[in-house]
């Protein structure tokens, strides 16, 4: 899979490419990451790529010429399969695992366009970008960190990259549930032990405990996930049994009996 990153700071993305799952995906030939710096398409002798906004206001905007030149080059280099051009901005749709999973499964080339300063000239978005995405309700200095998140999240989903494929299947959010707690040696640390069931050798009980803990963690911390994937009858029973004192409704809209 090919991912092109349009950025004024390609060294940031290059640093991420040398680590962890992204490096593994690149070394195994599953992923290619290429950087395109809009300064290389600037007509200014000082390689300027920004200017003041029409109508006044704070900050500077990325000019359409240099950025569009970098995007066009990335699209041309993508090969026969047309790439999806994605810009990162606070106005974009919320980026989540469903989007990442779809991109990784289709292995469609991506062109990730990173904003800087006060953002893009709107004409860049109108003429070159297919879709805008946001990492969340926060403002970053630029889109490079979001691009690195996307590259990493996709890399670990590509075939043969993660050593144990089951670990990807059991990640948080994969079934719209958070992960269960994990424990390793030593069995006691600072007076804190490990749940006895995990040392019981009873795989059925261990699986049940993990499923229950994942459910309860989701209910306490991210009940909004139940909107997309409501609790099953078994999960409802577990929630009614363990639900926090003082709560009179479990996620999914069913009243508790406490």
Active site residue 171: yes
Residue 37 phi, psi (nearest 5) = -95, 120
Which entry of 39, 53, 90, 236 is annotated as an active-site residue?
Answer: 90
Q: Give the helix ranges, DSSP H, for the chain.
A: 10-17, 20-27, 64-77, 97-106, 122-128, 144-155, 165-169, 203-221, 225-228, 233-242
Which entry of 2, 116, 128, 156 is annotated as an active-site residue?
Answer: 156
Place of tokens 């280099």: 77
Find how far residue 238's CA is from the centre of its chain.
30
CA–CA separation, 128 and 113 (whole Å): 10
Active site residue 118: yes
DSSP 196: G
Which entry of 77, 96, 107, 118 is annotated as an active-site residue?
Answer: 118
CA–CA separation, 210 and 22 (whole Å): 29
User: Using CB atoms within 10 A of its CB, is residue 142 exposed (0-12), middle (13-18) or buried (19+)?
Assistant: middle
Which entry of 171, 179, 212, 240 is annotated as an active-site residue?
Answer: 171
Active site residue 27: no
Active site residue 236: no
95 vs 101, 134, 219, CA distance in Å? Answer: 11, 6, 22
Are the CB atoms for 85 and 130 separated by under 8 Å? Answer: yes
Q: Which residues are part of the catalytic machinery?
A: 90, 118, 156, 171
């Amino acid at each position: 899979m090919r991912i092109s990153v349009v950025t004024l700071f390609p060294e940031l993305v290059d640093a991420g490419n040398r680590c962890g799952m992204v490096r593994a995906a690149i070394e195994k030939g599953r992923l290619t990451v290429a950087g395109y710096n809009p300064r290389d398409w600037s007509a200014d002798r000082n390689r300027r790529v920004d200017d003041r906004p029409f109508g006044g206001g704070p900050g500077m905007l990325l000019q359409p010429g240099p950025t569009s030149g970098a995007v066009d080059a990335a699209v041309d280099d993508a090969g026969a399969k047309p790439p999806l051009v994605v810009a990162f901005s606070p106005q974009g749709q919320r980026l989540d695992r469903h989007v990442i999973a779809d991109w990784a499964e289709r292995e469609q080339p991506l062109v990730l366009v990173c904003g800087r300063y006060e953002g893009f000239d709107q004409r860049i978005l109108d003429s070159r970008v297919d879709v805008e995405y946001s990492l969340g309700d926060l403002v970053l200095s630029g889109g490079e960190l979001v691009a690195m998140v996307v590259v990493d999240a996709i890399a670990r989903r590509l075939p043969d990259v993660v050593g144990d494929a089951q670990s990807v299947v059991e990640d948080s959010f994969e079934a719209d549930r958070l992960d269960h707690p994990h424990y390793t040696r030593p069995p006691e640390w600072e007076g804190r032990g490990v749940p006895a069931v995990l040392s019981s050798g009873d795989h059925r009980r261990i699986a049940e405990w993990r499923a229950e803990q994942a459910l309860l963690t989701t209910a306490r911390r991210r009940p909004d996930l139940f909107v997309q994937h409501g609790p099953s009858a078994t999960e409802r029973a577990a929630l009614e049994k363990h639900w926090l004192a003082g709560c009179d409704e479990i996620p999914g809209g069913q009243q508790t009996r406490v």
